[in-house]
Chains A and B, each alone.
Chain A
Amino acid sequence: NAGVTQTPKFRILKIGQSMTLQCAQDMNHNYMYWYRQDPGMGLKLIYYSVGAGITDKGEVPNGYNVSRSTTEDFPLRLELAAPSQTSVYFCASSYEDRGMFFGSGTQLSVL
C-alpha cells in the first residue's frame, strides 16, 4: 500500500494563478482532510470529507475548493492564488475519524 500520496511536492505560483493539489489514498478510508501548516505553527483544517460526494468546510476554507467524486481521491483547488496561501499543505485520511494517516505534504509558494 502506498498510503496517502500527494502531488506535487513543491510548487511556485504567481499571484492570481490557479492550481490543483492532488491527494489519493489506497486504504479504503472514508474520511479525508486537507490541512495547511504555516511556519512554526500548528495545522489548520481547510476542508474535510466523510465520504464520496460529501464535503464540509473547516477552519480556513476561504480561497479553496474541494471535490470528492471517489473514495480514493480528494483534490484541493486554489483559485486566484495569493501570498497568504504560501504554506505547506497536508492531506490525510482515516477510517471513520480514527487513526489519521498523513501524506508527505506539498510546499507551496505564491510570489
Chain B
Amino acid sequence: GIQVEQSPPDLILQEGANSTLRCNFSDSVNNLQWFHQNPWGQLINLFYIPSGTKQNGRLSATTVATERYSLLYISSSQTTDSGVYFCAVGSSNTGKLIFGQGTTLQVKP
C-alpha cells in the first residue's frame, strides 16, 4: 500500500518564527489532507489539497502531486499552534485515507 512519510518528526520554535513541514508519499494520490491535533487530542482538518496551493490565515499548503510531496507552511507561529500535524493521503476513489506518523510542533513563548 501507499507509504506516507512526514518530516521532521519533532520541531521546537520560538513564538513568531516560521516553519515548513513536509509530507512525502510513495504513489500517486488523488486525495491529500492536513490535520492538526491539539494537546487535548482534538483533530481539526486544515486543508484538503490533492494539488496546488491554498492559504488560510497564517497557514498555507502546497502539494506537488507529480513529485509526490506536500508542504505545510506556518508563519508567525503562536503557542496555540502547538500539537501534532498529520498528513493523510488517498490513492484511489475508494475513500481510504492513510495517515503519516505526524510532526510534533512545540511553540515556546
A-side residues, CB < 8 A to B, are 31, 33, 35, 41-45, 48-50, 56, 58-59, 88, 90, 92, 94, 96-102, 104-105
Contacts and interface: CB of A to CB of B under 8 A. Distances in A.
Contact of B95 (A44, A88, A97): A97
A50 B94 contact: yes
A95 B70 CA distance: 22
A48 B48 contact: no
Contacts of A42: 86, 99-102
Contacts of A31: 95
Contacts of A97: 31, 90, 93, 95, 97
Interface of B: 1, 31, 33, 35, 41-45, 48, 86, 88, 90, 93-102
B102 A100 contact: no
B22 to A, nearest CB: 15
A48 B33 contact: no
A59 B45 contact: no
B38 to A, nearest CB: 11
A45 B96 contact: yes
Question: Could you say which of B35, B95, B96 has the most chain A C-beta atoms within 10 Å of its C-beta?
Answer: B95
B99 A99 contact: no
A76 B78 CA distance: 37
A58 B96 CA distance: 7
A99 B31 CA distance: 10
A45 B4 CA distance: 13
Contacts of A92: 43
